[in-house]
Structure 1
Amino acid sequence: MPFSLWQPTAAAAASPGARPAIDLRQQFAAMSDQALDWGQAHWLQIVIAAGMAVAVYLLLNLLRGWGVVLCRRGHGSANWFGILGQAISKTGQFFILTTAARLVVGYATPPPFLNALVLGLFTIAAVFQGAVWLREIVFGIIEHRTQSRAPGDPADGQALVSALSVIRLLISIVLFAVASVVVLGNLGINVTGLVAGLGVGGIAIGLAAQGIFADLFAALAILIDRPFGIGDSISYDKGSGSGTVESIGLKSTRIRAGSGEQRVIANKNLLNFEILNTTRRTLNTFKFEFVLDHATSPDLIPQLPAIFREAVESEGFVLKHGGLNGFSATGLSYDVEFASTERDFPADARDKVAAAVLRRLREHEISFAYPTQINLVVDKSKPEARIPLRQHVLAD
């Protein structure tokens, strides 16, 4: 509930419409007299309460030191020990002092103005300390999830630091704005207009910068989820774009295409595409398609899968499929699909496999089918044979 250090006089209470001048000297003198009388009447309770406050202060500092130990045990914010320890280690001395005073002030039965002062200071300290704790926990969780997936690439680390710095700034602004509103409300200030103004301003800023925020959170999603990293070869937009990732920024990602140009794509737009990361594949496959002549001996057709397997494995690759697909207009349709034993093929892999297949087909006198086109040419130099009229008549 709202509190106030200054108690209204009887005249002010009797006439709420009036605004009497408050003599600060008289107020201060009255509070001094109350404090002096309180100290003389309750000196024993004050001494005991002070001792209890010192004990509470030392205990809270001990807990704060325990948080620092947890933080060191977790080596920063990389794990849950670190997150908890980081939050506890951010406990401020002002909050510890006001907490100790708030816990023991009731035992000494202080005057109303002193009780209100302690309550007010504790409320301010508690609200802002809660904002600090919440900020550290939220940021620690984000950092924990990010660092658990981030590689050791220095460029990736720099992009991650930049993104997390902006996120931390936004979280701090939001939390401390809420804390300020709560403190002002507890001080008895009407914050309805302030909240409305902040809401309208936040909506206006959000609408104006929605593209920037969308790309910023998309960059954070890339760095946390890691669909690709710097140096990865990717293709996107159903294969219409491809290249090597050079950098991941807060707003855009830069990709070096195979033709040499650099493409700058907004992070939000890039995540809307289906991304194929060719760097992270475990193997690669390739397929030769060809047509053999219809004159191929039927006795050789059952032997061709073994022939293709021998040709592929002789070059150190794995046959996925090698055999007949069906009949075509020009011959027998075949394919030979083979896979690499590593992430990708050597540069001359296709040439070697093609040569091995061709060599074995020639050993068995098997030829490829060639599309044949027959053109019929009419020789117009010779006169056209005509049937005599009499024969036409007889035929009819």
Structure 2
Amino acid sequence: MSHILLLNCGSSSIKYQLLDPEVGAPEAVGLVERIGLEVGTITHEVGDNEFRESRPFADHTEGVAAVVKMFQDHGPSLDDVVAVGHRTVHGGSTFVESTLVDAGVIAKLEELSDLAPLHNPPGLAGIRAAQEVLPDVPHVAIFDTAFFSTLPAEAYTYAIDQEVAKRLGIRKYGFHGTSHSYVSKEAAKFLDRPIEETKIIVCHLGNGASISAVDGGVAIETSMGLTPLQGLVMGTRSGDVDPGLHKYLVGAAGMTIDEVDTLLNKKSGMAGLCGHTDMRDVKTAIDEGDEQTQLALDVYVHRLVGYIGSYIAHLGGVDALVFTAGIGENAAHVRGPVIRKLKALGFELDEDANATRAKQAREISTPESKVRVLVIPTNEELAMAQETLAVISK
């Protein structure tokens, strides 16, 4: 067995899993929270058993050390770990595939931190911490942006002064790439067709949300851009707004640019529209007759339908529309309005199939539908493990 330890480091947290890419199911999962605060917690799950400790973790090095100790105390053993895979949000134009981490890679990631100031620095901290605690195995960076390195120039280029754009690396990069790559491959398997012969649109709908157009297994468009703020309405992020909004808020509301950034990233989206970020709460409020929450869902659906329509045009047709991630997999009240609005394009929703909850891949369109509509659970951790194993096997 070839176990891979996967780390996903946030500014004050570390999510982790141990799994064998050949098997798929994790043997252990866990979470370190509140790193750098007075009291932190670590939760370690093995099968049906959960182990929890509360104590301070001064930094990510102490957090990763706590992870290793949990494995030592409660199993499973880390003795057969062959590599550590690190989720790395922004690879810029430099990293177009998963990469073995060395000093040069770390130096380049430091340079790219300005493109993802909320994500790359904690990711780097996690890499350094894991290398210190687990120095005898290779470490691999898996980039959220890598899958979208195939976007054509007309898709990734912003219509701004090109000297400025090239000097500062301003272009569309896209995110959630690991999920979009995995789900598009799984969709091709579901269709029983070679992925090279498919045109697929993937809707990754969670608290963060993005959509991609995948032609023959190659990404040609996606909704997120230079940052994860562009595109769809999300839990707390606005998605697309008039670029002039920033200057207007600075002038009319006296806000600083940092306050505008906080507004659009943390106080907008569904939270700004109706106060709810959980689609279950959205459904409850709508069922109770809350008109503002209904408007919020209408805005969410309107934006998503617009992207789907444009991506069908860019692809020159589509074989399957796929919903994935927390909302995409579970929120029938989101999928339903989207598909009904696409009826003119040949989409036909099976209402009973859409209303049925299941954990496995399934179809929610009718046999008469010109486009197959699928719900496919994402598994970013398995995809990361497979990528990690592929890199160290070269």
Higher strand share: 2
| Higher relative contact order, structure no. (Cα contacts within 8 Å, ≥ 6 residues apart) | 2
Q: Which has the larger radius of gyration?
A: 1
Does TM, normalized by the shorter one, top 0.5? no
- Provide TM-score, normalisation by structure 2: 0.23
TM-score, normalised on structure 1? 0.23
